[in-house]
Chain A
Amino acid sequence: MKILVMIKQVPDTATQVKIGPDGKAIDTAGITWIVSPYDEYALEEGLRIKEKRGQGEVVAVALGPDRVKEALRSCLAMGADRAIHLNDPAWEQADTLMTARALAAVIKQEAPALALFGRQAIDDDMGAVGAAVAELLGWPCASWIMEESVDEAGKAIRVGRQAEGGLELFDLPLPAVVSAQKGLNEPRYPTLKGIMGAKKKEIKNIKAADLGLTAEAPALSVVKLETLPPRPPGRIIPGEAAEAAKELVRALREDAKAI
């Protein structure tokens, strides 16, 4: 069974982000990059499916500039068999839709049984690419899954999808698209052997033209980025606990009108 896992390289949460000179993107100098956490859940689940079945192939796929190779390399170190890197200036301004078109085209070429995504990438938090890809492919889609099992024949997947107020269990025929929610698993750390082995694994480069795609105007574009308006300075309420509690409740009602 072939499984494609789509991953995104994003700035580490703790990293400082600054607005770049054009005011529409961040300055990427000095940023520490990581694989988006939800994508790690997706990759981990892909690896577990393969291990449980005792056979199959897990392919990590990412779109972005040269630096993204590093993220793919860490997926290979975790255990992915090979990687595909969509790297082309045509995708420099890629929005959700353009990204989804590129990924859908690769998935079509590779024809896996399962396409795994993270619930959302923690840079722009749009959380739309997985579902968009499913729609473009015409595959069934379950977002925010907390559990899954693939049937023995590799023809269907049962997923537990997080919904408002509960978990909905669905059967989906394969091929299908699913996106990983936190709680699906605990991703493994790469072993030293994995890291060494990753160096020998293939990262295939793909250009837009290889997929018959060209640059297109984004459907949604950034007008500008802004820093947060500063929050007014807060007030530490002094005094003994009883006194402070009383004053806080008074302030919340009378000054802040929050309750």
Chain B
Amino acid sequence: MAGSFWCLVEDDRQGNPKKVMAEVLGEAGRLASQAGGQAEAVWLTDKATEAGIKQLGQWGAKRVLLLENPAFAPYRGEVWTPVLAELCRKESPQAFFGAVTARQREAMACLAARLGAGLSADSTALGLEDGKLVATRPIYAGKLISKVTWAKTPWLATLRPNVFKPADSQPGAAPSVEKPAVTLPAAVMNLVERREDSSTGLPELAEAEIVVSGGRGLKGPENFVILESLAKAIGAAVGASRAAVDAGWRPHRFQIGQTGRTISPKLYLGFGISGAIQHLAGMRTSKVICAINKDPEAPIFKIADYGIVGDLFEVAPLLEQEFKKMLEK
């Protein structure tokens, strides 16, 4: 219905929405209340759980459109897009938001093309101006901000994780659940296998509230254990600069920067990272930035909130000790 702010559910493949959905639904709810509408969740999955549906409701989804079918997992654009487009045509939502994940970036781009609608990918702020949605997007390696708007509805956007304020949980809120009948398109893409990433036992980089990141200053792959130990102590994810990834010290999925991941944690701690523009592009929207580097001239100090000019091999273990002491209190 008009006034519906839809949110495409990103789940953990076990039937539970991911944490980023609290942010997407929270933002949709805020905008919808200004526009006199409501936030709703659209969930394409092979398996939803009762707990998952309840969770969406607690994050502010008034209605859940649940499409449960083995054909929806793993994600294939050729299956998802026609189904999402059919739902949009039937219900004319005012907006449709997703999270910045590999599959949702593709799904939203396909949907936009199918509907002839605009898409603001990787948005970092949204607001209504004279009844129209305006999105903020960092461009040119985050050196500039672009404000964009849509020619027509639905307003399609993907939201950068960790940037938008999560919904306040509403205990006991129960969404209405609908299971719309849709035509399942024929598919030509066949899954051969899925190779799981080796688990680090640490939070996922894109969703982590604290990120510890290492660069060339670490001098070798073996020294990442120093950062991993610190990360474990404070529940952080470990990332790396392009220099460290290109040297083969870390797999590419840990790279932060222009040709890697873009992150916005509450706290970013960079060790032995000089702060090249292409790295800043991937972490500039972090809320608090700390840099530990030997070189007082390192560009990262220009954007850091706190800096220590010193030897990371000395400072990192000391920080770990101090954090542990603090967290024990």
Query: A residues engaging B (CB < 8 A)?
Result: 11, 13-14, 17, 19, 26, 37-38, 95-97, 100, 122-136, 140-144, 146, 158, 160-173, 181-183, 217-228, 231-232, 234-237, 241-242, 244-246, 248-253, 256, 258-259
Q: Is there an interface contact between A167 and B318, defined as CB atoms closer than 8 Å?
A: no
Q: Is there an interface contact between A241 and B304, defined as CB atoms closer than 8 Å?
A: no
User: What are the residues of chain A within 8 A of B147 when measuring CB–CB?
Assistant: 222-226
Q: Is there an interface contact between A225 and B252, defined as CB atoms closer than 8 Å?
A: no
User: What are the residues of chain A within 8 A of B181 when measuring CB–CB?
Assistant: none
Q: Is there an interface contact between A158 and B117, defined as CB atoms closer than 8 Å?
A: no
> Can you offer 23 A-B residue contacts whose CB atoms are under 8 A?
A38-B259, A96-B118, A122-B259, A123-B139, A124-B146, A126-B119, A127-B105, A127-B109, A131-B113, A135-B113, A141-B78, A161-B102, A167-B194, A168-B74, A168-B195, A183-B251, A219-B152, A222-B148, A225-B145, A228-B143, A237-B307, A245-B319, A256-B288
Closest to B117 in A: A219
Is the C-beta of B167 less than 8 angstroms from some C-beta in chain A? no
Q: Is there an interface contact between A252 and B306, defined as CB atoms closer than 8 Å?
A: yes
Whole-angstrom CA separation of A75 from B260 in the bound complex:
23
Q: Is there an interface contact between A234 and B109, defined as CB atoms closer than 8 Å?
A: no
Q: Which of B38-46, B169-177, B183-191, B217-225 contacts A (4 or more CB under 8 A)?
A: B183-191
Distance between B170 CB and nearest chain A CB, rounded to angstroms: 25
Whole-angstrom CA separation of A167 from B103 in the bound complex:
12
User: What are the residues of chain A within 8 A of B315 when measuring CB–CB?
Assistant: 241, 244-245
User: What are the residues of chain B within 8 A of A220 when measuring CB–CB?
Assistant: 118-120, 148-151
Contact A241/B310 with A131-B77, A226-B147, A256-B288 known, Cβ cut-off 8 Å: yes
Q: Is there an interface contact between B301 and A128, defined as CB atoms closer than 8 Å?
A: no
Q: Is there an interface contact between A182 and B288, defined as CB atoms closer than 8 Å?
A: no
Size class of the B contact interface (CB-based, 8 Å): 35 or more
Whole-angstrom CA separation of A239 from B109 in the bound complex:
51
Whole-angstrom CA separation of A165 from B284 in the bound complex:
24
Of B121, B138, B325, most A-chain CB atoms within 10 Å: B121
Q: Is there an interface contact between B305 and A235, defined as CB atoms closer than 8 Å?
A: yes
Interface residues in B103-155 by Cβ distance below 8 A to A read 103, 105-106, 108-110, 112-114, 116-122, 134, 137-152
User: What are the residues of chain B within 8 A of A241 when measuring CB–CB?
Assistant: 308, 310-311, 314-315, 318
Partner of B204, one of A95, A134, A165, A224: A165
Partner of B77, one of A17, A100, A134, A234: A134
Q: Is there an interface contact between B309 and A236, defined as CB atoms closer than 8 Å?
A: yes
Distance between A179 CB and nearest chain B CB, rounded to angstroms: 8
Contact A131/B110 with A169-B192, A225-B145, A259-B267 known, Cβ cut-off 8 Å: yes
Contact A218/B118 with A13-B278, A143-B105 known, Cβ cut-off 8 Å: yes
User: What are the residues of chain A within 8 A of B319 when measuring CB–CB?
Assistant: 245, 248-249
Contact A128/B121 with A26-B144, A163-B103, A217-B151 known, Cβ cut-off 8 Å: yes
Q: Is there an interface contact between A249 and B326, defined as CB atoms closer than 8 Å?
A: yes
Closest to B108 in A: A128
The binding surface of chain A is classed by DSSP as: mixed
Closest to B119 in A: A128
Contact A242/B318 with A132-B110, A228-B145, A234-B303 known, Cβ cut-off 8 Å: yes
Q: Is there an interface contact between A143 and B102, defined as CB atoms closer than 8 Å?
A: yes
User: What are the residues of chain B within 8 A of A223 when measuring CB–CB?
Assistant: 134, 147-149
The binding surface of chain B is classed by DSSP as: mixed
Of A125, A141, A226, most B-chain CB atoms within 10 Å: A125
Distance between B22 CB and nearest chain A CB, rounded to angstroms: 17
Contact A165/B197 with A17-B144, A235-B305 known, Cβ cut-off 8 Å: yes
Distance between B173 CB and nearest chain A CB, rounded to angstroms: 27
Of A123, A136, A140, A258, most B-chain CB atoms within 10 Å: A258
Q: Is there an interface contact between B112 and A219, defined as CB atoms closer than 8 Å?
A: yes
Partner of A165, one of B196, B267, B306, B321: B196
Whole-angstrom CA separation of A95 from B307 in the bound complex:
40
Closest to B142 in A: A228
Q: Is there an interface contact between A140 and B120, defined as CB atoms closer than 8 Å?
A: no
Q: Is there an interface contact between A132 and B323, defined as CB atoms closer than 8 Å?
A: no
Q: Is there an interface contact between B102 and A163, defined as CB atoms closer than 8 Å?
A: yes
Is the C-beta of B234 less than 8 angstroms from some C-beta in chain A? yes
Whole-angstrom CA separation of A172 from B75 in the bound complex:
14
Closest to A11 in B: B140
User: What are the residues of chain B within 8 A of A258 when measuring CB–CB?
Assistant: 210, 266-267, 287-288
Distance between B110 CB and nearest chain A CB, rounded to angstroms: 4
Is the C-beta of B92 less than 8 angstroms from some C-beta in chain A? no
Q: Is there an interface contact between B122 and A252, defined as CB atoms closer than 8 Å?
A: no
Whole-angstrom CA separation of A252 from B304 in the bound complex:
13
Q: Is there an interface contact between A172 and B322, defined as CB atoms closer than 8 Å?
A: no
Is the C-beta of B290 less than 8 angstroms from some C-beta in chain A? yes
Distance between A103 CB and nearest chain B CB, rounded to angstroms: 11
User: What are the residues of chain A within 8 A of B13 when measuring CB–CB?
Assistant: 165
Closest to A169 in B: B192
Q: Is there an interface contact between A248 and B308, defined as CB atoms closer than 8 Å?
A: yes
Interface residues in B63-110 by Cβ distance below 8 A to A read 74-78, 81, 101-103, 105-106, 108-110
